[in-house]
Structure 1
């Protein structure tokens, strides 16, 4: 279960919330450790919703005033880590059911957000640019690495940066309007993500940001933003929707690249070097 009274109230009503309320709810749940120092105006700005949305949201949860919200938050001793959540034991059946239900909600909300975007145009850019640089730190790195691996099956010129022993400045200094940077910036990002995104917003290259609702403050510096929802019944955030978005966008790119000679060449080299286990039945 969530660790604070506020989080418990949010989870009880999460399924009935509209898009803006859910966006605010996910911001609050992923920033619970810092909320006691924020004003209601800060929350509205960081969650990218209006002040009236914040006011209605807390009234919906049963709070008479924002001061009452802060009082609840200050009762909870936190250090910012989701692992400090007060988890109540649950039987395996309940745990599986809770995860299944939450993952379904995460993916449905992610799809709803994606439908507002020009996905064809994004995929076309991913196929046609001269090179793609993929960036991801901490928990975002596995998502970035997987995306690079998927795209590398389809086209050349895809790198994850910075490489060991290199700096971002060395990797990004020569970007042109013919290049694309994919920034994977899921929750609990390093502070330098803000500086990098500000620089990318001024660079000639296109920028595709993939983040969760808590990172939408960086969207102003990106050409496109893919929002992935990460709420989890436990202390660890879910990356299932982020990985699914990587698969979706990679499949869109595959449809647009009619020449499969690169894939065939890679498969032939796999066979020659005997690098992969054989598939079932083959």
Structure 2
């Protein structure tokens, strides 16, 4: 890794957001016009374009070879080789599974050290997640989720469906037009009728599911809005999403954890509640009254 900041660029890669794509997006406003062309070329064919030679990438971006070299320097890398090394490590991380991941917990044997180790891992994940959440993406998510002219459709993967279900249970208390689907098969009937009046909220984490990706692409073809919650390595759905929110998934066990992703969901719920204001409170009151009548049989 580069040890010093590049003049006019970002800090060294170790001090920046988790993925190369995130670093590129963070640097975008500081780049020159030609450097932005390199950035967009990489993001449009991510990460494959960044693994090409400097000559091939310069041809794709329609810039000179030295511009490509200056671009990676602006990201804080000391060389193009170092930049590509990070991309390769990222590819390995994207395909990691509980079988290949090593547990992060303290293996010293004491319960106290185990507890402290777990707490540190979760605290770090939460801190890094919220530090890297772009304000503009959060604002757009709040706007879409609180727009009652849109019908919301929430779906997750094999494990991430718990995030989708939690979000739906809370959202439907504050507004109408909210639907949860256990898997892509359940959403297919409605998906064919999607329009720009529909918003798909999809949860997709590493070892990304092919059917979930295909579903999101079909929703984009139908001109639906798309909000994606994913991990730092980014589901391919990011290519077609209107809003991309990433959360860290480190956990003490070899399984990806949802502490930070759930915190992002709770933040979205709070933001929608604030946006909807009195209408959300009135709906919650009506639901509470209806629930009481049903429970008491009155």
User: TM-score by structure 1 length?
Assistant: 0.68
What is the CA RMSD across the aligned residues, in angstroms? Answer: 3.5
1:150 aligns with 2:152: no
Query: How far apart, in 2, do the equivalents of 1:245 and 1:55 lie?
Result: 34
Instruction: Report the CA distance between 1:107 and its aligned residue.
Output: 1.3
Structure 1 gap ranges (5+): 1-15, 27-40, 61-65, 74-78, 276-282
User: What whole-Å deviation, never above 9, does each CA across 1:55-76 have from its counterpart, x for those lacking one?
Assistant: 437989xxxxx9xx9xxx9xxx
SS of match in other structure, 1:226? strand
Q: 1:86 to 1:206 in 2, by over 3 A?
A: closer
Deviation at 1:95, TM superposition (A): 1.8
- 1:93-108 to 2 correspondence within 5 Å? 93-108=112-127
1:187 maps to 206
> Does structure 1 retain, via aligned residues, the 8 Å contact 2:250–2:257?
yes
Q: Note if contact 1:210-1:227 (Cα within 8 Å) is conserved in structure 2.
A: yes
Q: 1:50 to 1:102 in 2, by over 3 A?
A: farther
Partner of 1:19: 16
| TM value normalised by structure 2 | 0.65
Matched, 1:256 2:281: no
Deviation per residue, 1:151-194 (Å, 9 max, x gap): 01101111112679x64321211112122110111223322222
1:272 corresponds to which residue? 293
**Distance in 1 between residues matched to 2:169 and 2:250, nearest whole Å:** 26
Gaps of 5+ in 2: 1-12, 23-41, 53-71
Distance 2:247 2:146 in 1: 22
1:29-178 alignment to 2 at 5 Å?
45-46=46-47, 55-56=81-82, 81-83=97-99, 85=101, 87=103, 89-90=107-108, 91-128=110-147, 129-161=149-181, 167-178=186-197
The residue matched to 2:160 in structure 1 has which SS?
helix
After superposition, where does 1:187-226 map in structure 2 within 5 Å? 187-226=206-245
CA–CA separation in structure 1 for the residues paired with 2:107 and 2:131:
33
Residue pair 2:204, 2:212 contacting (<8 A) in 1 also: yes
**Residues 151/47 of structure 1: CA separation in 2 closer, same or farther (3 Å cut):** farther
Secondary structure of 1:82's partner? Answer: coil
Are the structure 2 counterparts of residues 56 and 175 from structure 1 closer, same or farther at C-alpha, using a change threshold of 3 Å? same
Change (3 A) 1:115 1:85: closer
| 1:220 shift after superposition | 1.4
